[in-house]
Structure 1
Amino acid sequence: MGSHKAFFYGTLMAPEVLHRVCYGPGAVSKDPAKAYLASQLSIQPAILHDHSRRRVQYCDYPGVIPEPGHTVRGTYVTGLTDGDIFRLDTFEGSEYERIKVKVELVEQAGKFVEASTYIFTAGEQYLEKKEWSYEEFRRDKMHRWADDSYEYQDVDDAVGHDLADEVEEFEGDPTGGRSVKAEKNGETKKESAEEEEAMKAAV
């Protein structure tokens, strides 16, 4: 089991989205490797105090910003690995910053735990005034976030390996150290393309 803990308050509250980001395309229920990795996660409701959640303008997803007296309900997830965090950071992109916060567990009122969450840092002017609704997202927007949605392109581009290999590494490595490959300055992608062209020429 991974050692990372996170608080999600937007699209990542949906298991389908969380699993798609962390494990790649394809249904978890139809892939034993993905099902195993997903089983290592624990998810429960939690509340982030003194923050507000607003919809990002012209987008399906929200941003959270500090705001005294307001609360945000989301999910507290434990068991995330280094690889999961890499994917999540990539998915969230430059508009967000991952920071440590304290959240209150809904099922254990008064108990606060530490978790990472993604605070919107692109500027409050890019947020709508009204609260973002998870129920509305599931009802009206979830179909846009299907398995082949472009929303996951950055994550897919940044990661490349076989999930079955991850399970072997996960079982043998107490840190849950997943094998990930980041493309630094586009060099990895460029080299792969050059190698592919060379092989085509050889054929």
Structure 2
Amino acid sequence: MTGYSAFFYGSLMSKKVLARGEEYPAITTCVGGQVTGILAQGLTAKDIEALDVFEGDWYQRIAVQVTDGQEMIDTEAYLYIGDQALLTGQEWDFNQFLTSGKEQKWLDDRCDFYEVDTFHQI
């Protein structure tokens, strides 16, 4: 396979959020944990740069291994390195995010991510 890949979790599992560029799910440790998410493959270097812009200074891209149920795949994910006091400590629920209307609220409130759209226009 050519290109880059990335493991998305939390709000980036939403096709609407991912397509756009209040919910901030976070991986806070990368040792021995399991996180449900999706693997995006065939990304370009520009896509990875846009993801870095989207995640900002509070997330660090790290190497991880994910499984598709059959094999382990080397990729990257974003580890939360921001203020731990902002985290609730509760497990984030993707289905609840979709069915509660929080997905749309997130999209409506995310004007601060327009810089990602601008990044792609350059």
Q: Distance in 2 between the 1:72 and 1:127 partners?
A: 16
**RMSD (Å) for aligned C-alpha atoms:** 2.3
- The one of the two structures with greater contact order (alpha-carbon pairs below 8 A, sep at least 6) is 2
Q: 1:91 to 1:112 in 2, by over 3 A?
A: same
1:73-107 alpha-carbon deviations (Å, 9 max, x no partner): 1111101112211211111111000111111213x
Of 85, 93, 102, the residue aligned with 2:56 is: 93
Aligned AA for 1:152?
A: F
Is residue 122 of structure 2 the alignment partner of residue 122 of structure 1? Answer: no
Q: Secondary structure at the match of 2:27?
A: strand
Q: Distance in 2 between the 1:2 and 1:18 partners?
A: 21
- 2:45 matched to which residue of 1? 82
Is residue 105 of structure 2 the alignment partner of residue 144 of structure 1? Answer: yes
Name the stretch that deviates more: 144-153 or 75-84: 144-153
Aligned-residue offset at 1:67: 6.2
Q: Which runs of 5+ in 1 are unaligned?
A: 22-58, 161-180, 182-203
Q: Say if 1:2 and 1:82, in contact at 8 Å, map to a contact too.
A: no
**Which is strand-richer, 1 or 2?**
1
Count residues in correspondence.
121
Aligned-residue offset at 1:8: 0.6
Q: Secondary structure at the match of 1:98?
A: strand
Q: Distance in 1 between the 2:103 and 2:112 partners?
A: 12
Q: Say if 2:23 and 2:106, in contact at 8 Å, map to a contact too.
A: no
- 2:94 matched to which residue of 1? 134
Aligned-residue offset at 1:138: 1.0
Q: Distance in 1 between the 2:68 and 2:76 partners?
A: 14
Identity of aligned residues (%): 36
Q: Which runs of 5+ in 2 are unaligned?
A: none
- 1:158 matched to which residue of 2? 119
Aligned AA for 2:15?
A: P
| Greater Cα radius of gyration, structure 1 or 2 | 1
TM-score scaled by length of structure 1: 0.53
TM-score scaled by length of structure 2: 0.84
Is residue 24 of structure 2 the alignment partner of residue 3 of structure 1? Answer: no
